[in-house]
A and B are shown apart, each in its own frame.
Chain A
């Protein structure tokens, strides 16, 4: 016999379902009068340091059809690579946004600032990136991925996460494409030859 280690088990995940908007973006879903506004509509205030950018895209299923009932959350560092909660973070940055995909077109949009490179405890610099979490009907456990920026080629080449990916041919699935100054496009493919890399955190 040995001593017991008392641990609880994490609550099992269940799908967010088709009506996730009622709980997480009620104003978007047309429920007015309960909350004054939806949470997560501002990732970075007008005074936030850094380049103002817009990221837009869709979540596509295995047939290439956009999900019109998905909900995405984005989490990122400020322009200096600090997360809210860390010392010295830009007070104009909440770092967190939430967006339901459009019920007709399936597009999502985040307006934010470009995150800075993040220093790891071992001194490595992680290329600028945002964390993305995707839930929807048919997704049993929320999916985690990252948005990197294709115009940060030098930082991406030195990034310790990107460089550990065995199938380097899939790395472009993590790259937001610059479509105009300050405008990026990032589609998420749940399945198929272009399946996005998802992470186990």
Chain B
């Protein structure tokens, strides 16, 4: 077991109160959070069994489609690694993703955008990283969509990511954006991240070399979780 987690750099994350993202105004705690030392509860975390995954969980093009059909939209592969702040790959990390369809419409009861649903697309997928922290899934590139915030706000195309590392204290939800999308820099939710440098870490790069000819373009997206301290003694115990 590791001896604690690297402190989270809260100046790097969005603050709780970000008035240009209006919903945060009444949903942001105003007292300072209380820092507590990591105990067993923060350093262990839930374990997910690879056997629970189905064969199409990481194929959003087909996991909701009728037999012989597929989702409409630009076919893409999203791949990368889950790492921690020390640069180590995180094996066995559960990565769950969700997104709108190619027209920017979510399959959700509270969604009101006029763009149509795709009968062959649900918008959810999941994968568990391999022994080196690698993951990969196939999907269609989601569309941008308008949302009620300012009078004319649009989300850039994005994919939501939920990630579990081995420690509860590493739990993270974030979003992936696409290289070259001019909407990124106009979005109030993206703009909650304090620095341009931070935003750029969430922009996936088009990887022409990993593109499968006549099939799907590839985007590379690495995700970094908080680092975990390890002592030399523990390294010996783990045979590293």
Give the B-binding residues of A (Cβ under 8 A). 6-24, 26, 29-31, 33-36, 39, 61-63, 65, 67, 69, 73, 75-77, 83-86, 94-96, 103, 118, 120-121, 126, 129, 131, 133, 135-144, 161, 164-165, 170, 190-191, 195-201
Contacts and interface: CB of A to CB of B under 8 A. Distances in A.
Contacts of B48: 39
> Closest 3 interchain pairs by CB?
A23-B98, A138-B23, A96-B46
Question: Dominant SS at the B interface?
Answer: loop
Nearest to B87: A8
Nearest to B160: A23
B34 A23 contact: no
A21 B15 contact: no
B172 A140 contact: no
A8 B173 contact: no
| Chain B interface size, under 10 / 10 to 19 / 20 to 34 / 35 or more | 35 or more
B85 A191 contact: no
B41 A9 contact: no
Given A8-B85, A10-B85, A22-B106, A140 B13 contact: yes
Given A95-B46, A140-B13, 4 more contacts: A14-B14, A96-B46, A103-B109, A142-B173
A76 B85 CA distance: 26
A137 B109 CA distance: 15
A138 B34 contact: no
Interface string B14-42: 11101001011111111101111011111
B174 interface: yes
Given A6-B87, A75-B46, A83-B44, A29 B109 contact: yes
